[in-house]
Each structure stands twice: as structure tokens, then as C-alpha cells.
Amino acid sequence: MPATGVISLAELMSHHRDLLVQPICWTSRHLEMLGCRFEHLDHVPIDDIERDSGTSQPIDHGKKLKQWKEPTYEEIFASGRHFMKRESCLQYLLPPLLHRKCETPYFFFANKRIHRPLYSVFYRGRKRSQPAGQAPRLIVGYLDYLNVERHRQQMFPARFPTDNIINRPGVRIQRKRVAQITPKNWSEDPYLLCVLLSLAQLQEYHRKESHPPTHLSRLLLTYKPDDKFFHIFEAHITAELLGMLDNPSTATKYIDWPTIKHKMVPFQPVEGLKERLQAEIALNQPPGSFDISDLVDPVTPKEGMRHYLDQVDVIHIQRRKEAMTKTKKRVKNESFVLPRQKFGENA
């Protein structure tokens, strides 16, 4: 039996059309009505950090300059204040566990592209000659939460006159509208559900018959610079739920939505951060996820990109049905994106 107040997707489509908004505008009401919740796990304790004694000492800039050395990728990823983005650091910190990156997939609803989440996807590649095995391919997402905050700010831009006069009423309205879709606790942002569902849909698209019908969606998240922790969000999402998202109008069955688990892991000590990061990503993965001995070699100028793509088993984000439709109607300018504020409308 569903919890009190929980509704099916069909009821959501029929009686709560005010909730059919873009994922970036989802609120806690969406989670409550679907029965989805967050669970915050005990974080790994951080080591004692030496605090500044508070006594001011003269700074020898010449000595500081001599002692300076180029920061490591672990230090850049931990600080978040380098010109090199944290996402770029992951391309050095995740291999050999994850050594490929694919284009960001879409979130689908009613078999239509609704939104392209603001995250990146890293996965473990293999050659086409390598058998699929009994376990799914290891796929992990990365999200910089500052991008989510920026996107919300840009959704309601305040209009300014051409004479450079500050539009104070417009700014107040903009702040109010942004506050309406901003969660009180960022670590329980409903937008994270959209990202995890998008990851699960990508895995479902590439699922083999021998693979289990439940997907482990795992998201690595960082927030503000100089934070002491990075975050892991994960959820077990069933193929049954993903099928209901494809056909929400007929999804009258009540289903248990996943519990999103949240774990905080300290950046410090920076030494060994790469190993700790990979250990968190590999934790509780299905047996056989790493049984890929024939890993893909990097592309070489001699062989060229075409030869490389002929061998590698690349993850594609476009569904076959979608690709066929676009091929048949190539002349017609068909859009798979619904209006900005509404989604889920049936044709």
C-alpha cells in the first residue's frame, strides 16, 4: 500500500497538471506526492585540522615564492579555486576505474526529451570484441551544484531599462521567483532526482538481457570552493519505474519510488584522495562490473579517430526509436523539446 498522499503518475498527469514543470522547478511537493525521500548517511569523520593561532606574523613573499610548487590534481579538485575546473581534474583522478566520458544524456518523460541535466557522465569503456558479461557497465555522473544555482538565477532574468537605471522592483520579483523553486536544504534538492533518473535511463537504454532490471545511479557532487567534503548521491531505480516514465498516462500502478542516499566524504587528507574517490565510486557495485580486461587504448595519430571508434564500444545518448524517426522526417524540423515551463503533454 502506498503511503498517505502518494499518487501514481497517471493521477499526476490527470489531476495535478500544475506540477508538470521543468525539473529545475521541481519542489519538495513533487517528492512528497510521489513518495520519494532522501536519507543522509553518517559521513566519514574528518581528521583534526590545525587551526590558526591568530597571531599575525610578517609574510616573507620571497620565501613563499621559492616554496611554491604546481598544485596536484588532488589539490585542485579539493580547493575548487583553480582556473582548472573540478570536472577536468576528474579526467585524471578517475582512470583507470573510469576512463571514458560521454555526452550528457537527456531526461525523458512520455518518451520525449524534456531536459538536459547539468552534469557529466564518466564510464568504463571496452572494445567491441569484449563480451558484455553478466554485469552492467560502470557509469557515474558528476555535478557541480553551483551550475544548478546559476541556472535557476538565469531562468527569471530581471529586465533593465536602456538608460542603465536599476530595476529594483524587477530584481525583487526575480529573487522571489527564484526563492520559490530553491530548496531550503540544497542536499535535498528535487533536481537531484532528475539527474539520477537520467543516469538510470541511460543505463536502461544500454541494458542487456543478462543484466539485472535494477540500476544503481550514482552521482558525485561538489559545491562551493574550499568545502571540506564532496558528496555521493545514489539510488536504486528499477526498469519498471523507467517504463512508467515512458508511458505516464497509463501508469496507474502505485510503485515505491527510490530512496536517495546521501554520503559526505572529506577531501582531506589530499594524499590518497584519488584512491578514496575511486573506492567510493566502486562501492557496492554489481559483481562483475570491473571484469573488463580488454580496455580501450587511447586514440593515436597513426590510427586516427575513425579506427578508434570502430573498436570502442561507445555509449550513445540517443534512443534508436528517436534516431529512426529523425531520419525518416529529416526534412521536417521536428522538435523533441517541450515548452520551457510545461512537460508531459500528450500529442
Choice between 265 and 297, residue whose per-residue pLDDT is larger = 265
pLDDT score for 33: 92
Pairwise CA distance, residues 239 & 23, whole Å: 20
State how far the alpha carbon of 185 is from the alpha carbons of 38, 228, 258, in Å: 11, 18, 19
Torsion of CA 41, 44, 46, 47, to 10 degrees: 150
Is 108 a member of any domain?
yes
Lowest pLDDT segment from 59-68, 86-95, 183-192: 59-68
Above 90 in pLDDT, residue 129? no
**What's the pLDDT at 128?**
58
Number of compact structural domains in the chain? 1
Q: How many residues does the chain have?
A: 347
Binned at pLDDT 50, 70 and 90, residue 235 comes out as very high
Handedness of CA 44, 45, 47, 50 (dihedral sign): positive
Render pLDDT for 168-209 as a digit per residue (tens, 0 to 9).
Answer: 888 888 889 999 999 999 999 999 999 999 999 998 988 877
Residue that has been written with the C-alpha cell 531526461 in this structure: 107
Establish if 129 belongs to a structural domain. yes
Domain assignment present for residue 301? The answer is: yes
Cell of 104: 550528457
Q: Determine the pLDDT at residue 11.
A: 92
| Mean of pLDDT values over 25-47 | 85
More confident residue, 125 or 328: 125
pLDDT(270) > 50: yes
Domain extent at residue 185 = 9-44+70-328
Inter-residue contact 200 to 242 (CB < 8 Å): yes
More confident residue, 83 or 35: 35
Percent of the chain with pLDDT over 70: 69
pLDDT band, very low/low/confident/very high, at 34 (cuts 50, 70, 90): very high
Rounded to the nearest integer, the mean pLDDT of the chain is 78
Residue 313 is assigned to a structural domain of this protein: yes
Q: C-alpha cell of 142?
A: 558528476
Which pLDDT score is estimated for 321?
52
pLDDT (0 to 100) of residue 51: 40
Residue 58 placed within a domain: no
- Average pLDDT (136-160) is 87
The pLDDT score that the predictor gives to residue 220 is: 96
pLDDT score for 314: 60
| 248 in a structural domain | yes
Cell 574517490 locates to 277
Average pLDDT over residues 116-145: 79
Stretch among 121-125, 270-274, 311-315 having the lowest mean pLDDT: 311-315
Q: Is residue 339 part of a domain?
A: no
Per-residue pLDDT for 27 more than 60?
A: yes
Which residue type is seen at 146?
A: L
Sequential DSSP letters for 89-127: HHHHHSTTTS-EEEPPPPEEETTEEEE--S-EEEE---B
pLDDT for position 44: 56
| Region of residue 64 (phi > 0: left; psi between -120 and 50: alpha; otherwise: beta) | alpha
Instruction: Name the band, by pLDDT with cuts 50, 70 and 90, for residue 286.
Output: low
CA distances from 198 to 6, 18, 163, 343 (A): 22, 22, 44, 16
Tell me the CB-side half-sphere exposure of residue 52, using CA atoms within 13 A: 4
Tell me, rounded to whole angstroms, the distance of Cα 306 from its chain centroid: 29
Residue 106, number of CB atoms within 10 A of its CB: 21
In this structure, the number of other CB atoms found within 10 A of the CB of residue 296 comes to 19
User: The C-alpha cell of 313 is what?
Assistant: 564500444
pTM of the model: 0.78
Residue 57 falls inside a structural domain = no
